[in-house]
Structure 1
Amino acid sequence: MLERRGSYAFDYDLHGGSAPVRMQWLFHGRSELPVAVQVWELPPGGTEGMHAHAREDRPLEELYVIMDGTARMHLDGASHDLAAGDALLAPVGSEHDLANTGTGPLRVLVVWGEPGTADYSSFGSWRSANTARNPAVGTPAAR
């Protein structure tokens, strides 16, 4: 299956943000992954709107990956400046808001869903990622 950039895109108002977000929900109704995978485009000065996905409501975790542009993300009282390639995780219940701080569109890959666990430890890429985060684990003396 292939989806081209912008195919099936629509404007959507998020959480009282300052402007509609141009959104593409990738493979909506076709993917069986237990997450939503979306591409958002915010205009200059556009914001998502401060919000949280509470544990008692429908708990959601959100992963934001900046693809193009610059942004500021407010997360539980901290402010993070982000650029292309940067990623930020908004855990369940965290107060967060995304704002486009650039002069052009901000493109963001957003993956969200209910938290859970999956065991990927049999994959070589999982082991390499684990070693990258915990170098001592990957050394022969630590095994």
Structure 2
Amino acid sequence: MPPGPIESDREARETLEHMRGGPGSVLVRHFRFEGKGAPTRFLILEIPPGAAEGNHVHYADDRNGTGAYEEFYYVISGRGLATLGVETYPVAAGDYWHAPLDMARGLANADPAEVLKVHLTVVLRDPARTGPA
């Protein structure tokens, strides 16, 4: 596609093995918008049967170096199991949820045959100050 205001995700894909410590591989599509969306990022996760985005936490003070990200998930297709905190919830197409800072989150495909496709909006927050300014 020639340069213009419409972008294609065909060039912005990567396969992550054991994403966030989860089993299998996840195809991630990045929508970069030439950096115009910062501090927000948009992604599509395609999680095949048997794979998962492993449970992880984004802390407000970024103590583990993964970024102080809030995440907003929307299931496009498929069925999965979403972890929020210590609870796990079944999710399917049309379901959405917010994973705030300091809360564990993860997502696994729960279907034996269909890919779980999820739109993920990630918002980077300024790391909280942990000491006197």
- Which TM bucket (shorter chain)? 0.7 to 0.9
**Deviations along 1:41-60, whole A, 9 cap, x unmatched?**
00112110110001221321
**Deviations along 1:17-71, whole A, 9 cap, x unmatched?**
1012101101x25141220100110011211011000122132100110001011
Percent identity of equivalent pairs: 26
Of 112, 116, 119 in structure 2, the residue corresponding to residue 109 of structure 1 is: 119
Give the root-mean-square deviation of aligned CA atoms: 1.7
Of 76, 100, 103 in structure 2, the residue corresponding to residue 94 of structure 1 is: 103
In structure 1, give the amino acid aligned to 2:80. A
> Cα–Cα, structure 1 residues 72 and 38, in superposed 2: closer, same or farther, change >3 Å?
same
Alignment of 1:11-30 (within 5 A): 11-13=15-17, 14-26=19-31, 28=32, 30=34
- 2: distance between equivalents of 1:83 and 1:30? 31
> Cα–Cα, structure 1 residues 115 and 39, in superposed 2: closer, same or farther, change >3 Å?
same
Would the aligned equivalents of 2:52 and 2:106 in 1 still touch at CA under 8 Å? yes
Would the aligned equivalents of 2:16 and 2:27 in 1 still touch at CA under 8 Å? yes
Q: Indicate yes or no: 2:6 matched with 1:2.
A: yes
- Give the equivalent residue in structure 1 for 2:54: 49
- 2: distance between equivalents of 1:6 and 1:70? 24
Structure ID, larger Rg:
1
Of residues 55-64 and 36-45 in structure 1, the stretch that sits farther from structure 2 once superposed is 55-64
- Larger RCO, structure (CA 8 Å, separation 6 or more): 2
State the shift of 1:80 in Å: 1.2
Q: Indicate yes or no: 2:65 matched with 1:59.
A: no
- Give the equivalent residue in structure 2 for 1:68: 77
The list of structure 1 runs, each at least 4 consecutive aligned residues, that deviate by more than 6 angstroms after superposition, is none
TM-score (norm 1): 0.73
Tell me, which stretches of 5 or more residues in structure 2 are unaligned? Answer: 127-133
TM-score (norm 2): 0.78
SS in 1 for 2:20: coil
Matched pairs, number: 115
